[in-house]
Amino acid sequence: MPWLHAVEYLEKIQEIPLNDKKLVQISLYAALIAAMGLVPPIPFATGIPITLQTLGVMLAGVMLGPWRGFLAVMLFVFVVALGLPVLSGGRGGLGVFAGPTAGFILGFPVAALVTGLVAQLLGKLNLLVAASIGAFVGGILVLYLFGITGFKLITGREWMESITIMMVYMPGDLVKVIATALIAQSVYRAMPSAVAIR
């Protein structure tokens, strides 16, 4: 059973059991993602506005490692569901999960996990490159898979239609891949120990 294999693996790399220190780290990172949602979007190099929150989600897997990054973003999504208006734009509550973008939000934790895993597996490469690829696979491919599926289910559109419609967000999201990589590298140069995957 893959589930048991995963648990064994996590035990082996000592990510389980979660001690107090790891729990606090997860909670604080989730708090940071929430805080980033309360700040308006900021222009990136070309002027396209990005939300710090999206960056925070993508970087979770890089900063905390895939597993704790996953948990941190899960906690964030959970807290949004509980009723905190911390999804960027001041959104929150169960209403968010009933709307067309629900797939994206539910996909956040997996995006963080995959971003972290891929960046970690590409350990031999320069961090900028590893983080870019990780952010692309996790933050675009995987996240859009969730997002488009959710969109299709909620709106009843066909696959091709859903994909075409959601592609509108792509240019802005490619920008966030670049921003993620730049910040990952910047953090690593400022304090290497802050980046768990290295």
Partner 1 sequence: MSISLKQVTLCRDQQPVLHNLTLDLTEQRIALVGNNGSGKSSLARLLNGLLQADQGDIEVHRKFPARGVAQMADTVGFIFQNPDHQLIFPTVAEELAFGLRNQGLSSKDSTLNARQFLLDHNRIEWADRPVHSLSEGQKQLVCIFSVLILKPELIILDEPFSALDLPTRMGLMKWLNQLPQQILMISHDFEFIRDFDRVIWLKDGHVHMDGPPKIVIDQYLAQCREEPSIC
Partner 2 sequence: MLSLYLPQQSWLHRLPAGLKLLTLALTSIALYQFQTMNFMVPVLIATLAIYLSMGKTGLHQLKVIRPLILLFVFLFLFQGLTQDWTGAFLLLGRMLILIWLAHLITLTTRIQQMLDVVTPLFSPLKWIGMRPDSVAFSVILLIRFVPVLLLMLEQLQQAWQSRKGGRQQWKLATPLLINAIRMSDQVSDALAARGGIPRKNTGDTLER
| SS3 letters across 72-139 | HHHHHHHHHHHCCCCECCCECCCHHHHCCCHHHHHHHHHHHHHHHHHHHHCCCCCHHHHHHHHHHHHH
Residue from 121, 187, 196, 198 touching partner 1 (CB under 8 A): that is: 187
Q: Between vectors from CA 190 to CA 67 and to CA 184, what angle results, nearest 5°?
A: 45
Do the Cβ atoms of 30 and 73 come closer than 8 Å? yes
Nearest-angstrom CA–CA distance, 23 and 108: 19
- Which candidate, 58, 54, 60, places its Cα nearest to that of 87? 54
* Binding-site partner at residue 192 among partner 1, partner 2, none, CB < 5 to 8 Å by type: partner 1
Residue from 192, 195, 197, 198 touching partner 1 (CB under 8 A): that is: 192
189 binds partner 1 (CB under 8 A): yes
Site string (106-135) toward partner 2, x via CB under 8 A: ------------------------------
For partner 1, the closer of residues 146 and 188 by Cβ is 188
186 binds partner 1 (CB under 8 A): yes
Nearest-angstrom CA–CA distance, 106 and 108: 6
Nearest-angstrom CA–CA distance, 148 and 118: 22
Neighbours of 92 (CB within 10 A): 18
40 binds partner 1 (CB under 8 A): no
Residue from 190, 196, 197, 198 touching partner 1 (CB under 8 A): that is: 190
Residues within window 141-170 making contact with partner 2, judged by CB under 8 A: 154-157, 161, 165
Applying CB under 8 A, the residues found at the interface with partner 2 are 7, 10, 16-18, 20-21, 23-32, 34-36, 38-39, 42-45, 50, 52, 55-56, 59, 63, 75-76, 78-79, 81-86, 89, 91-100, 154-157, 161, 165, 179, 183, 186-187, 190-191, 194
